[in-house]
Structure 1
Amino acid sequence: MKNTLLIWIMLLGIWGCSNDDDNAFETSVPREKITFKAVPGGAIMYYNLKGNKEVFSIRARYVDAQGKEITVDGTYLSDSLTLVGFDDARQNVPVRLSFFNHKLEESDGMDMVFNTEDSAPAAFFKTVEVTPGWNGFQIAYDAPQSTGYAHIFYLGENPLTHRPDTLWLQTILIAKGHNVHSFSLQQERPSNTIIITTEDFRGYRVKKGVWENVEAYAISQYPSVNISVKDPLGIIEENTTYRLSSQYLFDGKTKGEARMLEGNVEKQAYLFATKKNTVGKYWVLDLGEKQMIARLRMYAAYKWSLFIASWNWMGQLSDKYPSEVTIYGSNDMEDEESWEQLGYFYQSPLVEGWAAKSNTVIADLTVLERQESLYADINCVANGKEYRYIKMLVHNTFRYDGQLTYQNRNNIIALSELEVFVKK
């Protein structure tokens, strides 16, 4: 009995020693097979586990900018890990690496270091510019990638307490590349204090910036009588029979009421229109003097009969109005290199856009006068420059007319009125 018990004790000891050996996972992964590349907000760790059949996965542990320990795992099926959680660029951030076999037994640690680049929320403040805007301000910045948000505030009057307060205006995604955003304020002042804070995708606040005494440009409508229309490409329809002319861009009749005032309801349009196949071409406005351009406002007229038989309307109006426009400014309209882009407007041509209600038939002047004006604004960048000439390039018109039938087959552009707003 004693001999049997002794044998069992010896066997258990041998089994225990064997078990201890199994728990000890040892591997050797050369350091040169692990490299790091600094990226905005962190680093990418590249590893090569090929040829090491014992290693099933790899683990990286490090401490981020918030002081939290981060664990990131990868397997032999991949070759990289992304290490995130940093704001400002850093050098020699410690990281401990370990490896696991197919039994999920962990090896001893391997200590290495990596570098990082500024994250987008941190780099934002190295490039951002806050400059005067129309009834407000604008911001411009360059971002290495989209990894955060910017919260825009200004100092104003709290509408509830009527006391000075920091008022939230908008939150924007910090988008990769060069970006410009314009902001108009309801509380108009000659200058404003602007506050911007940034936040990463994990919800942590990164940085804050304050800009004081940012001028706000007041705007006013430029007198239409001072504007003349230039047609260098010969695209504008001048038709006295149907009352189509560039002069109707600035006659002050935004809804199409001129035809009723003249007693011509059925055929005569009293609108601005271009010739066939002129979508994608431009005309020029001459202000007669240099002005800082704030915006252009396009108007649409209401439909005046159920079946418009005149000219080339094909029964519809809403599909003749611009859905995509680019505005350029210059002081020498003959110099093609001098034109600078000032504004851009876009609505999908396949949806009911700003001019959709123009297909509403109104044949009574009293009813028409009670209707709201149909318009869209093309906002221009406040770049501090003045221009005499404005080029209006229409890229597309709406293709939606309620039935998706006509779709502006003649590629005609129409407008009821056009207003120009400049720095006051």
Structure 2
Amino acid sequence: MMKNNILLLLLLICGLFACKDDETFFDVSIPRENIRFKPIPGGAVMYYSLPEFTDIFAVRAEYNDYKGKKMVKIASYAYDSLVLDGFNEARNEVPVRISLLNQSNEASKSVEMTFNTENSGPVAFFENIEVLPYWDGFQVKYDVPGAATGLCNVFFIGMNPMTQELDTLLVETFAIESGKNVKYFPLAQRRESNTVVLKTEDFRGNVAMQKIYEGIASYNVERLDPSEFEWIDPFHLSQENDNNGSMLGWKYLFDGDVKGVRKLKFQESYGQNPPANMYTFIAGPFAVNTVESPKYFILDIKESKQVSSIRMYAMLNLNSMTKPYVFNYFYGNKLPNWVTIYASNDKDDPDSWVEVGNFYQSPTAAVPWIQKAGDIDPNSRVKTMEELEAADPCYLTVNFSEKNPSYRYFKIEFNGVFKDKDSYWKNPTEYVTLHEVEVYGK
């Protein structure tokens, strides 16, 4: 009798467990017609509509990426789509197994389907690309439609400084951006032409594609000799004063002093309380160009040249920035923040001027180009000739297109200055100063 009772109890317990197993078995599936795929760069988006089943917790998709690595993607029941990525070149009929999960992570029977992909960003990068000549190097123009991902590594064939042999040298790595873009790559090693290597990779570090571009011409440039340059001043704004205590005039724009060497040397040789000789250029009052009162200067380089850029320098922050009264005791707020340049081969023909370059920087920029210029930052003060020789110059650059023809005349408009840079010695009468001008050309 006891033996029969024990047997009955065991059967009852097994029955209870069987009931429990039946209750937790995840017997549900997603109809194929509830799933669709949309190809995207580097993969596809799986859109789905879940059946009305309260225990569905997530959707799982299993497939292999382009390298054959198993990929498992899971999305919450609260969403209606899942991104299936991991591909570079476009592929068709990629197998995928789709199942549902409950809160116990138990899976339903899987549905097998396929999806197509589009070229990823690192591959699409090469679909619409040009590697073209540029000043002292080359440029890369590309157009990536849609969402862009991945990196581009830019190399050129040059002399390895360590081995003194030709090698593939990295220039830059940049993130690929969607839309039309252009990147410029000036090279320190100058050649008549360059071999450029572009290698793209995804954000997992996998190489997507590589292409080699040979014979890319380099438009090598150099600083043009300024000895014959002329600064034409149609509105008579330039302060011309070669008396001791001033030394002002446009000729100082082309004397080769890009930092303020002449002023500091004069101070050191004179001793205490030297005159405020500047050896620099200043124009005004009201030398800033406006719609109501147009103002400009014309730079005549004396012969037509294909110009790549014009640099405009500021005097560095010297130990003793004593200045003649025309500077109103503050130097930096007379430096330009906005410059527009036009070019022509006939300065007397008003219809011949073509805009070739523009520079703009906000007057409130956190680190303006004038940061190391006179009176701006006391921490940048240069006290000795040795310090001055070691210091980097301070300048803005207006770059020109490599497609421009040769020009002789350049009309320069100063459309704005950092006139409020000092809280006390402001520049309400809009004087404009520059310390040196350099022209670079092919």
Q: Same fold (TM over 0.5)?
A: yes
**Residue of structure 2 in register with 1:122 after alignment:** 123
Q: Find the residue that maps to 2:204 and give its secondary structure.
A: coil
Distance 2:27 2:233 in 1: 81
1:325 CA drift (Å) = 5.2
**Residue of structure 2 in register with 1:270 after alignment:** 280
User: Contact 2:60/2:72 (CA < 8 Å) preserved in 1?
Assistant: yes
* 1:13-412 correspondence runs (5 A): 13-49=14-50, 51-144=52-145, 145-224=147-226, 227-229=229-231, 237-240=237-240, 246-256=250-260, 265-266=275-276, 270-273=280-283, 275-276=285-286, 278=288, 285-287=299-301, 290-302=304-316, 305-306=320-321, 308=323, 310-311=325-326, 313-322=327-336, 334=350, 338-341=354-357, 349-351=365-367, 353=369, 356-359=372-375, 374-376=393-395, 378=397, 380=399, 383-388=402-407, 390=410, 405-406=423-424, 409-410=427-428, 412=431
TM-score, normalised by the number of residues in structure 1: 0.81
Q: Alpha-carbon deviations, 1:38-59, whole Å to 9, x = none?
A: 2221222233448542311111
Choose 277-286 or 33-42, whichever is displaced more: 277-286
Choose 173-182 or 209-218, whichever is displaced more: 173-182
Distance 2:101 2:352 in 1: 65
Distance 2:341 2:112 in 1: 58
Q: Alpha-carbon deviations, 1:219-240, whole Å to 9, x = none?
A: 12234356555678x6x83334
Q: Find the residue that maps to 1:224 and give its secondary structure.
A: coil
Structure 1 residues 6 and 362, CA, compared in 2 at 3 Å: closer, same or farther? closer
Distance 2:339 2:239 in 1: 24
User: Contact 2:131/2:138 (CA < 8 Å) preserved in 1?
Assistant: yes
1:147 CA drift (Å) = 1.4
Structure 1 residues 342 and 118, CA, compared in 2 at 3 Å: closer, same or farther? farther
Distance 1:248 1:103 in 2: 82
1:377 CA drift (Å) = 5.4
Structure 1 residues 330 and 36, CA, compared in 2 at 3 Å: closer, same or farther? farther
Q: Find the residue that maps to 2:90 and give its secondary structure.
A: coil
Distance 1:400 1:255 in 2: 23
1:130 CA drift (Å) = 1.5
Structure 1 letter corresponding to 2:254: F
Distance 2:358 2:172 in 1: 23
User: Contact 1:351/1:400 (CA < 8 Å) preserved in 2?
Assistant: no
1:163 CA drift (Å) = 2.3
Distance 1:269 1:34 in 2: 77
User: Contact 2:239/2:281 (CA < 8 Å) preserved in 1?
Assistant: no
User: Contact 1:138/1:183 (CA < 8 Å) preserved in 2?
Assistant: yes
Distance 1:22 1:47 in 2: 26
User: Contact 1:317/1:358 (CA < 8 Å) preserved in 2?
Assistant: yes
Structure 2 letter corresponding to 1:310: Y
Distance 1:268 1:19 in 2: 95
Distance 2:382 2:96 in 1: 73
Structure 1 residues 25 and 193, CA, compared in 2 at 3 Å: closer, same or farther? same
1:4 CA drift (Å) = 1.3
- Could you tell me which runs of 5 or more consecutive residues in structure 2 were left unpaired when the two chains were aligned: none
Q: Find the residue that maps to 2:127 and give its secondary structure.
A: helix
User: Contact 2:281/2:435 (CA < 8 Å) preserved in 1?
Assistant: yes
Distance 2:439 2:338 in 1: 18
- Could you tell me which runs of 5 or more consecutive residues in structure 1 were left unpaired when the two chains were aligned: none
Structure 1 residues 97 and 371, CA, compared in 2 at 3 Å: closer, same or farther? closer
Structure 1 residues 373 and 10, CA, compared in 2 at 3 Å: closer, same or farther? closer
User: Contact 2:337/2:359 (CA < 8 Å) preserved in 1?
Assistant: no
RMSD: 4.0
Distance 1:291 1:170 in 2: 31
Structure 2 letter corresponding to 1:63: N
User: Contact 2:222/2:440 (CA < 8 Å) preserved in 1?
Assistant: yes
User: Contact 1:41/1:84 (CA < 8 Å) preserved in 2?
Assistant: yes
User: Contact 1:41/1:120 (CA < 8 Å) preserved in 2?
Assistant: yes
1:85 CA drift (Å) = 1.0
Structure 1 residues 252 and 80, CA, compared in 2 at 3 Å: closer, same or farther? same
1:198 CA drift (Å) = 1.0
Q: Alpha-carbon deviations, 1:117-138, whole Å to 9, x = none?
A: 2211111122222112222222
1:98 CA drift (Å) = 1.0
